[in-house]
Amino acid sequence: MSLYEIPITKLSGIGEKRAALFRKLGINTVGDMISYYPRAYDNWADVTPISSVVPGERCVVRARVSTPVNNVRISGGRMMAKLSVSDDSGYLNLVFFNNKYISTMLRYGEEYCFMGRVAYDNYGYQMVSPEFSKADTSEAITPVYNLTAGLTNRMLIKAAKDALSMLPEVVKEPLPYDILKRYDLCPLSYALINIHFPSDIAAMDKARRRLVFEELLTLNLGMRLMKNRSSEDTAIHMPVDHTPEFVSTLPFELTGAQKRAVADCVGDMRDKLSPMNRLIQGDVGSGKTAVCAAVCYNTVKNGYQAAFMAPTEILAQQHFETFSKMFSDTDIRLELLTGSMTASEKKKSRARIESGESDIVIGTHALLSESTVFHSLGCAITDEQHRFGVAQRARLAAKGEHPHVLVLSATPIPRTLGLIIYGDLDITIIDELPPGRTEVETYFIGTDKRDRALGFIKKQVDEGRQCYIVCPLVEEGDSELESANDYAAELMLGPFRDYPVGILHGKMKAKDKEDVMARFAKNEISILVSTTVVEVGVDVRNATVMMIENAERFGLSTLHQLRGRVGRGRYKSYCILVSDNRGETTEQRLGVMCRTNNGFEIADMDLKLRGPGDFFGNRQHGLPQLAIADFSDTETLAQSQEAAEYLLKISPDLSDDAMRLLRAKITKLFSATENTMN
C-alpha cells in the first residue's frame, strides 16, 4: 500500500480535528507529509556569542541558566517567566509567557541552546519565548515548515518524523539507475529523510538537489510527452491563403508584426506535415486578437471549424463582439459558449457546434466539457495561455483530429525558461504596437501624495473617464476578502462618496466577478477597486487611470499587465504606483516602470533584479505547482532537460517498465494543476 493512501490520522497524536488543520496545508496522507518539504532550516550549530547578538535578528546562543526562574503574574491573569542566561561573553534575559513548566524545563546551572529573535530594551538584550534544547543535542539542523493557525512547527516536526518512520525498508526508486549514477544523485530514501532531518548542511544539499532534479525531470518529461503526441500526427492540410480578402475588410491596416504573425500561422497550416504548434507572444495591446481572427478566417475558408478559448466570461464575450463586427460582412457563423449561459442555450449552442452549423466557436472552459463535441475542429486557439493549465490546453486540442494549435501570451519570458514551458513550440513575437498609441504615463509616489492622486482620479471621472485602483496585496494569513472590502469601504465612505465604486476580488464567485466587470465595461461603475484579478486582458477603452497600492509588493510583470488595462483607447492614460518603500531595489524596479512601457525590457529587468524563481512566483505560466524546485538552479535544470531527452530516446512514450514510477509521478504532478487553475 502506498503511503499516499494512508490517511494522516494514522500518525500518533493526529485526530480528526488536527487532521483538518493538516489538510489546510494540503497534507491528507502520510505520503503528503513526507513530501511537505521544509521552507527553511534552523541551524543550532551556528552559535553566536551573547556579546555579538544583534537586536532584531534571529540567532542561537549557547548559554547556562544563571538565575532561578522568576514567575510573575501580569495583566489579564497571564503568567510571565523571567530568567537570565550567560556565556563567556555576557548575559541575556529570557522571557516566556503562559508556560508554567519553564522552571522545570530550564534548570539552574545547566547549559542549553536558545534560538529566537533578540530585542533590546531598558533591561538589556532579551529573547522572548525562544525555542530551546539541551546543549548536547545531536540534531543540529531542524526543519522550519510553513504553518497554519493551530499548528506549531513542533507538531509538524513530530508528524514528519512519524511519517518517515513508516517508510518501508526499501523505498522504490523512481529514477532509473543509470540516471542516478550519471548525475551523482542520492537514493530517494536518503533524500526524503535528509530533506527533513539533515545530519549536516552537505546532506541537506544532496537531498535537495536530488528532489529538485526529480521534480524538474518529471515536469520536463510531462511537457515533452504532451508535445510528442502532436508532432507525430499528420496535419490537417489548409492549402489556400485567404488572408488578403480578410484584411481588406478590417477597419485598420495590420502592423508589420501582425502580418508576420499571420503569415507564420498560415504557413504552418499550409506547409507543415505535423500540426501547427505555435506561441504568439505579444505585449498587451499589440493586437493579438486580430491575428487570431485572421487565423480563424483561414481555417473556416479551408473547410474547418476554429475554437478560441479565453480564461474569463467577460473576455470571451468581448472577443465574440469583436469577431461579430469583423465578420459581419461574411457568411461565417460565430458561436459563443460560456458557463453562465442557461442550460438550454448551452445545449442549442453545442448542437450547432456538433452539427457543423457553427464555424468559429468562442468560449470559456465550457469548451472543454465532455458534452462539447466539434464537427471538424481544424484549429484550437487559447488566449492568455498563462491562465490555463497545460493540461487544459491539451484538452482543447483533443477535441479534434490533431487540429492546429495556437496559444497567445502577453508575458514575455527568457529563452532558457521558455524551453521547458514551451518546449518545441514555435514562437512568433509581436514586437510592435498599433500606430497612434501613446505611452501610459507612469508615476511613482509616496502615500503622502495619495490624496492628490485620488483628487486626480476624481477629476478624470468627472470628465467621464473610469479608473482602476488595485488595493494592497494581502499579507499572509489575512483574509483577501476583508482587506479588499475594508479598503473599498474607506474610499466609498470617504473621497468617492458620490461616485459609483465597484469591488472585485479573487474570493468572489466567478459569476459575481463577471457581473462587476460587465458593469464596469458598461460604465455603470466609475471606479473599480480590485485585487490583481483584474490583470487579465479585458478591454475597457474608457479607463484612463490605474492606481496601484503597495506597488513594491508586486512582480514587475504583474505591474506591467495591470498597467496594460489602461491606455487602450484614445484618451491619455496614467499609471500611479504608490509605495513608501524607498529601498534601492524598489526604486530601481518602479523606476523601470516609469521609464518604459516595453514588456520585454521590463521582464528582463525583473529577472535581473529578482531572479527567475520569482518570475514564476505566482504561477504565471500555467505550469504545475512545484513542491521544491524553482527555476533558479539553471544547472540542475539543464541536467534534467538532458536526462528527459535521454529517457525519451530509450522509451518514447515511457512505457518501459523501469519508468513506471516516473510515469505515475508525471500523472500526479499534472493532475494537481488541472483543477487549481483559475
Residues in contact with Mg ion by the rule CB under 5 A: 537
Residues 597, 603, 604, 607, Cα dihedral to 10°: 140
With CB under 6 A as the contact rule, the residue among 284, 326, 551, 603 that binds ligand ADP is 284
Q: Of 287 and 555, which has the nearer Cβ to ligand ADP? A: 287
**Burial 290-312, CB ≥16 within 10 A → b, else e:** bbbbbbbbbbbbbebbbbbbbbb
Nearest residue to ligand ADP on Cβ basis? 287
Residue 648, helix vs strand vs coil: helix
Total number of residues shown for the chain: 678
Q: Of 179 and 536, which has the nearer Cβ to ligand ADP? A: 536
Residue type, 471: C
Print the binding letters for residues 254-273 with ligand ADP: x by CB under 6 A, - otherwise: xx--x---------------
Closest separation in Å from C-beta 240 to ligand ADP: 23
Cα 191 from chain centre: 26
Q: CB under 5 to 8 A by kind: which of ligand ADP, Mg ion, none does 219 bind?
A: none
Could you say which residues in the range 285-324 bind ligand ADP, by CB under 6 A?
A: 285-290
Closest separation in Å from C-beta 410 to ligand ADP: 6
Q: Are 551 and 577 in contact (CB under 8 A)?
A: yes
With CB under 6 A as the contact rule, the residue among 130, 174, 282, 612 that binds ligand ADP is 282
According to the binding rule CB under 6 A, does residue 539 interact with ligand ADP?
Answer: yes
Q: CB under 5 to 8 A by kind: which of ligand ADP, Mg ion, none does 255 bind?
A: ligand ADP
Could you say which residues in the range 359-418 bind ligand ADP, by CB under 6 A?
A: 410
Q: What is residue 47's DSSP assignment?
A: B
Print the binding letters for residues 226-255 with ligand ADP: x by CB under 6 A, - otherwise: --------------------------xxxx
- Number of other residues whose CB lies within 10 A of the CB of residue 76: 5
Nearest residue to Mg ion on Cβ basis? 537
The packing angle between helices 415-422 and 599-615, to 10°, is 70
Q: Which three cell numbers stand for residue 560?
A: 506591467
Q: What is residue 524's DSSP assignment?
A: S
Rounded Cα distance, 293 and 79, in Å:
71
β-strands 141-144, 131-134 pairing: unpaired
Q: Of 14 and 279, which has the nearer Cβ to Mg ion? A: 279
Closest separation in Å from C-beta 293 to Mg ion: 12
Q: Of 278 and 663, which has the nearer Cβ to ligand ADP? A: 278
Print the binding letters for residues 420-459 with ligand ADP: x by CB under 6 A, - otherwise: --------------x-------------------------
Print the binding letters for residues 568-587 with ligand ADP: x by CB under 6 A, - otherwise: x-------------------
Give which of 358, 315, 312, 354 is closest to 333, Cα–Cα: 358
Q: CB under 5 to 8 A by kind: which of ligand ADP, Mg ion, none does 531 bind?
A: none
Q: Of 11 and 257, which has the nearer Cβ to ligand ADP? A: 257
Q: CB under 5 to 8 A by kind: which of Mg ion, ligand ADP, none does 254 bind?
A: ligand ADP
According to the binding rule CB under 6 A, does residue 537 interact with ligand ADP?
Answer: yes
Q: CB under 6 A: which stretch of 70-78, 277-285, 465-473, 632-640 binds ligand ADP?
A: 277-285
Residue type, 674: E
Closest separation in Å from C-beta 546 to ligand ADP: 15
Q: Of 146 and 322, which has the nearer Cβ to Mg ion? A: 322
According to the binding rule CB under 6 A, does residue 460 interact with ligand ADP?
Answer: no
Q: Give the start-end residues of each E strand in 436-569.
A: 441-445, 466-470, 501-504, 527-530, 543-548
- Residue ranges of alpha helices (H) inside 398-438 are 415-422
Q: What is residue 623's DSSP assignment?
A: P
Contacts of 635 (CB under 8 A, 6+ apart): none
Contacts of 566 (CB under 8 A, 6+ apart): 440, 468, 543, 544, 545, 546, 573, 574, 575
Cα 431 from chain centre: 25
Closest separation in Å from C-beta 307 to Mg ion: 16
- The contact set with ligand ADP (CB under 6 A) reads 252-255, 258, 282, 284-290, 410, 434, 537, 539, 568
